[in-house]
Amino acid sequence: MQTIAPKEQIDFETNKRLLNRYRFIEYETLRILAGWLPATAKMELKLAMGRLLWEDSQHVQHLYQRLREIQTPAFRPPEDDALELLMAEAIHAPNERDLLAGLFRVIKPALAAAYRWHINQTFANPDAPTLYAFKHILIDEDDQVQWAEQALADHPVGEWERYIADLLAAAGGVTGRHARIAAPAPPTTRHPFVAPRQAARDDRFSLVNRKAGQVIRDQNITTRRQLEFESYSQEMLAAETVALVIYLSPQMPWEFTYDSARHLYDETRHCKLGIEWMAQHGLDYTTVPQNTLIYAWRSQYDAALQYTMLTMGNEVHAFPYRHESIKAYQAYNDQLSIQYINYDMADERTHVAYGKKWIPELLKAEGITQPVEQFVEEAVKRWEAEYRSGVLPIHNAPAEPVFA
């Protein structure tokens, strides 16, 4: 009998082990970005994080689809304490730029290199679905690494980034194949991460509780239109709530995180849509005071209530106003505003559907036994009393929000 030693280094078992490691890194990166989105101050970074996080959800989805063909359950821990330590530590960065440097200048370039090595070492035809996934994931990873090079060009490599690099080396690299060093001691600048109850804004912005929850029906159409798009430019607040809900709900099924990553990304896109509209009208979005009290108010509640008030309060109730807007702008043939609102409404319909799909699961996950309909009804009543009224009461504040 003739036996042939394969030239490929990655056999079936090794493939599973490696895919579990990659899936773990992509998923934890998504969770870290969700945790940090509200805590990050610089608006340009927040907007980028929405996209990065959503792209990572696509990578997890690619890997999940392959993993469920070769193992049950599809999601498994990497069974490597050093790798788990790396991703557990990566969130405790001293600040937002160190955080992103650790993720996108250390971990992601190493992950991209691992995907490239893997492509050449796995059985090309038998493992073709994995190759297909890597090919597409790499388009994003290369973009992400390039984005970080530019966005953090003036951020020198510091002790935090070196710490992350050493933790990665202690795990034998992304694949775990390399010689391991001893786990490094954390730098003194390590800052234990806690889920943020305040939404950070950079110092270009002023903070004010302006027209919270109120429907803007200015008689003057030009004023109404500007206020509407200024309000879009504040939709980072919705993204921040979805981010916190993702971060607070690790026990939820993967499909929830996948849908919510899209929900979050959409809200950063709506924010950007407001910014773009304002720029096209010669207006600077940083002059719009930010109502971060909305986030502080929502974040005092558990994830199920935050999510229900957002989807069944804000999102369900936005449609009549948007339809009125389209009608009003049609009278002026204002195509830009109409197009933007049409795309926004398409996203918002999806968000309402997410709400209907996931609220019952969130209640189960949080051990809330109240009937779903009753819970939603009470949540909407609370939303009307506390948000629509513009009061936004903080019932048990860890720290008073500062309003200019």
Do residues 286 and 205 make contact, with C-beta atoms less than 8 angstroms apart? yes
Question: Shortest gap between Cβ of 235 and Fe ion (angstroms)?
Answer: 5
What are the structure tokens assigned to 153, written together? 């060009």
Give whichever of 127 and 267 is closer to Fe ion, judged by the CB atom: 267
Largest CA distance in the chain: 88
Give whichever of 297 and 307 is closer to Fe ion, judged by the CB atom: 307
Any long-range contacts for 119-126 (C-beta under 8 Å, 24+ apart)?
Answer: 121/8, 121/9, 121/10, 122/8, 122/10, 122/15, 123/6, 123/8, 123/10
First to last CA, the chain: 83
CA–CA separation, 404 vs 398, rounded Å? Answer: 19
Question: 212-251 mask for Fe ion (x: CB under 5 A)?
Answer: -----------------------x----------------
Q: What letter would DSSP give residue 333? A: T
Q: What letter would DSSP give residue 89? A: H
Question: Shortest gap between Cβ of 229 and Fe ion (angstroms)?
Answer: 12
Question: Shortest gap between Cβ of 377 and Fe ion (angstroms)?
Answer: 21
Stretches 54-62, 144-152, 263-271, 326-334: which one binds Fe ion (CB under 5 A)? Answer: 263-271
Compute CA distances 41 → 33, 95, 238, whole Å: 13, 10, 15
CA–CA separation, 80 vs 174, rounded Å? Answer: 11
Give whichever of 83 and 264 is closer to Fe ion, judged by the CB atom: 264
**Among residues 197, 201, 270, 272, which is the contact residue for Fe ion, using CB under 5 A?**
270
Q: Where are the beta strands (DSSP E) in 11-142?
A: none
Question: Shortest gap between Cβ of 216 and Fe ion (angstroms)?
Answer: 15
CA–CA separation, 283 vs 231, rounded Å? Answer: 13
Give whichever of 336 and 397 is closer to Fe ion, judged by the CB atom: 336
Question: Shortest gap between Cβ of 318 and Fe ion (angstroms)?
Answer: 8
Do residues 297 and 386 make contact, with C-beta atoms less than 8 angstroms apart? yes
Give whichever of 204 and 349 is closer to Fe ion, judged by the CB atom: 349
CB proximity list for 374: less than 8 A, separation 6 or greater: none
Interface with Fe ion includes 262 (CB under 5 A)?
A: no
CA dihedral in degrees (27, 201, 340, 329; nearest 10)? 160
Give whichever of 15 and 299 is closer to Fe ion, judged by the CB atom: 299
Question: Shortest gap between Cβ of 267 and Fe ion (angstroms)?
Answer: 5
Binders of Fe ion among 311-350, rule CB under 5 A? 315, 348
Question: Shortest gap between Cβ of 351 and Fe ion (angstroms)?
Answer: 4
Binders of Fe ion among 23-82, rule CB under 5 A? none
Give whichever of 121 and 257 is closer to Fe ion, judged by the CB atom: 257
Question: Shortest gap between Cβ of 380 and Fe ion (angstroms)?
Answer: 16
Q: What is the CA radius of gyration of the chain?
A: 23
How many residues touch Fe ion under the rule CB under 5 A: the total is 6
**Among residues 236, 351, 354, 362, which is the contact residue for Fe ion, using CB under 5 A?**
351
Give whichever of 26 and 267 is closer to Fe ion, judged by the CB atom: 267
Q: Where are the beta strands (DSSP E) in 101-230?
A: none
Query: Could you list the residues that contact Fe ion (CB under 5 A)?
Result: 235, 267, 270, 315, 348, 351
